């Protein structure tokens, strides 16, 4: 396992998951309440995560979505069709045991947040970035007290400790491992802790956050055309983003 995977609880948990399809050996899927938590059962027995923990959450709506994934599988389980389960596995096996480390990882993203690195030319791209990203930074300044410094190009710009502390304080609202795992996933998928927090707060829809994160890429696609392989990778990442949004929303419904 790489050093990066060891430091990131999400990556560490996901690294233990088997990527290849597994044969379906169960017939029935259900969700059972037990001691205030809701657990997935297969043929009446508790389902387990790759880390051998019970696949359960505080949110029944979340577990019903997990159950939907398991119920619709065919003869072979398709991991690409079980993204909500995959994220919950990461929350249980990794994030739940390292909540503070997960918050710290998100804050590290904020220290070099995608929203702060802008093009100075061409002006049409710079203007598109301003329109897409500035409102989000204005929201962050007003709502969570995080005032970010911008720069042109890729030269690193240091953010004030007060700014990073404000982001860290905003993360305290996420005390459910599944919710924090979702926020972590959104952050890494977009390259922006600010976009993730703004989405979680309802300022942006997941689709709006995704478009904002890809403002530069979309501009380049308009100029030079779409690369099919890159588009396929982006579509796969979007499915992960959408799954994270589903998990985050479901954790608010008990």
* DSSP-derived 3-state class of residue 80: helix
* The model's pTM: 0.90
Q: Is 42 left (phi over 0), alpha (psi -120 to 50) or beta?
A: beta
- Report the pLDDT value the prediction gives residue 144, as an integer from 0 to 100: 98
Residue 50: how many other CB atoms lie within 10 Å: 17
How far apart, in whole angstroms, are the C-alpha atoms of residue 202 and residue 248? 11
The strand pairing partners of 152, in sequence order, are 118
- Report the pLDDT value the prediction gives residue 154, as an integer from 0 to 100: 86
Residue 56 reports pLDDT greater than 90: yes
- Report the pLDDT value the prediction gives residue 6, as an integer from 0 to 100: 55
- Nearest alpha-carbon partner for 57 in 32, 74, 28, 26: 32
Domains and CATH numbers, the chain: 3-96 (3.30.2180.10), 99-250 (1.10.3580.10)
The encoded tokens of residue 118 equal 């802008």
């Amino acid at each position: 396992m790489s050093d990066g995977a060891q430091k990131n609880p999400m990556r560490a948990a996901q690294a233990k998951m088997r990527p290849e399809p597994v044969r379906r050996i169960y017939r029935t899927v259900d969700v059972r309440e037990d001691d205030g938590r809701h657990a997935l059962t297969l043929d009446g027995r508790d389902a387990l995560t790759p880390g051998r923990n019970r696949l359960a959450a505080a949110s029944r709506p979340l577990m019903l979505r997990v159950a939907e994934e398991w119920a619709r599988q065919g003869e072979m389980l398709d991991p690409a069709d079980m993204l909500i389960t995959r994220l919950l596995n990461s929350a249980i096996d990794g994030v739940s045991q390292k909540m503070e480390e997960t918050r710290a990882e998100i804050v590290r993203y904020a220290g070099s947040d995608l929203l702060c690195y802008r093009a100075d030319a061409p002006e049409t791209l710079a203007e598109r970035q301003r329109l897409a990203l500035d409102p989000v930074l204005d929201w962050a300044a007003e709502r969570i007290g995080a005032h970010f410094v911008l720069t042109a190009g890729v030269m690193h710009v240091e953010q004030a400790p007060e700014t990073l502390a404000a982001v860290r304080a905003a993360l305290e609202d996420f005390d459910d491992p599944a919710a924090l795992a979702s926020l972590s996933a959104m952050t890494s998928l977009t390259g922006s802790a600010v976009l993730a927090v703004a989405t979680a707060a309802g300022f942006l829809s997941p689709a709006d956050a995704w478009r904002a994160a890809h403002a530069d890429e979309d501009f380049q696609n308009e100029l030079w055309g779409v690369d099919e392989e890159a588009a396929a990778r982006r579509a796969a990442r979007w499915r992960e983003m959408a799954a994270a949004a589903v998990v985050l929303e479901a954790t608010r419904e008990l």
